[in-house]
Chains A and B, each alone.
Chain A
Amino acid sequence: NAGVTQTPKFQVLKTGQSMTLQCAQDMNHNSMYWYRQDPGMGLRLIYYSASEGTTDKGEVPNGYNVSRLNKREFSLRLESAAPSQTSVYFCASSDLFAGSPLHFGNGTRLTVT
Chain B
Amino acid sequence: GESVGLHLPTLSVQEGDNSIINCAYSNSASDYFIWYKQESGKGPQFIIDIRSNMDKRQGQRVTVLLNKTVKHLSLQIAATQPGDSAVYFCAETYTGNQFYFGTGTSLTVIP
Contacts and interface: CB of A to CB of B under 8 A. Distances in A.
B60 interface: no
A106 interface: yes
Interface in B6-60: 6-8, 34, 36, 41-46, 49
Contact of A40 (B5, B89, B99): B5
Main secondary structure of the interface of B (DSSP, over half): loop
Given A40-B6, A40-B8, A41-B103, A101 B98 contact: no
A4 to B, nearest CB: 8
A106 B5 CA distance: 23
Interface string A39-78: 0111111001010000010110000000000000000000
Nearest to B104: A42
Given A41-B5, A42-B4, A42-B89, A104 B96 contact: no
Q: Which 5 A-B pairs have the closest CB atoms?
A: A42-B101, A104-B43, A43-B101, A106-B43, A101-B34
Interface of B: 4-8, 34, 36, 41-46, 49, 89, 91, 93, 96-104
26 contacts: A4-B43, A31-B97, A40-B7, A40-B8, A41-B4, A41-B5, A42-B4, A42-B102, A42-B104, A43-B91, A48-B98, A50-B97, A56-B97, A58-B98, A96-B93, A101-B49, A102-B34, A102-B44, A102-B46, A102-B91, A102-B99, A103-B46, A104-B44, A104-B45, A105-B43, A106-B42
